[in-house]
Amino acid sequence: MFIIDFDDTLFDTHAFKRARLEAVRELGVSEELYWQTYYVARNSANGFFTYSDERHAEVLAEQGFDKIKIYTALNKVTESKAKEVLDKETFVFLEKLREFNVSMVLLSLGCPAYQELKVKNTGIDSYFDRLFMVEATKNAVLDELFANHSGPAWFINDKPVETKELSEQFPQLRAVMKLSPNFSEEDYIKTGLPYFKTLAEILAYVRTNF
């Protein structure tokens, strides 16, 4: 089984956010305010992931901007740019993983409805047997998956601390990470787990160690 993360693994989330910034800057939103309101929109008071086009538009509306115009600008990016900012190696990577003839699971952290929209707009959902979008942690999904799966499972992710913690909690995981600009290389080194810059390198590692 392959369990694969979406943001910053298969999807260039950094480029996606920059495209969204450019869209709302045309409506007068400064870069500083964009990021300030992004972080407010991203999480609820209890720590759940709540980010969506509508939620960010609501937060910017509280700063005096037209909610409908902001929503329209952000949603246009979600609808038209998602496929463009996929990692250029994603489709080939997924096609090659399918050749192993094992279950493919996408496990994404974020507002479920919004994550599903992003994923489907990229066109990669057809490569997966199951899609999980979770707003809190990935632990419960892994519990469910391993309740019906014996043996190891590959886990391809970008977040060092999360990957390390899940690997310790679920020793069946064979984790390999893709470098993200959100973390330093030292963060990856500290985990003691394998990591690579590209999906092609991850594929080569999987082929060697499958």
DSSP the chain: -EEE--BTTTB-HHHHHHHHHHHHHTTT--HHHHHHHHHHHHB-TTS-B---HHHHHHHHHTTT--HHHHHHHHHHHHHHHTTTTB-TTHHHHHHHHHTT-S-EEEEEES-HHHHHHHHHHHT-GGG-SEEEEESS-SHHHHHHHHHT--S-EEEEES-HHHHHHHHHH-TTEEEEEE--TTS-HHHHHHHTS-EESSHHHHHHHHHHH-
Does the pLDDT at position 125 exceed 90?
Answer: yes
For 97-117, write each residue's pLDDT tens digit. 999 999 999 999 999 999 999
**Model pLDDT, residue 90:** 98
* Averaged pLDDT for residues 120-143: 93
pTM of the model: 0.93
Mean pLDDT of the chain: 95
- What is the β-pairing status of strands 104-109 and 153-157? unpaired
pLDDT class for 203, splitting at 50, 70, 90? Answer: very high
pLDDT class for 88, splitting at 50, 70, 90? Answer: very high
For 49-84, write each residue's pLDDT tens digit. 899 999 999 999 999 999 999 999 999 999 999 999
pLDDT class for 2, splitting at 50, 70, 90? Answer: very high
**Model pLDDT, residue 35:** 97
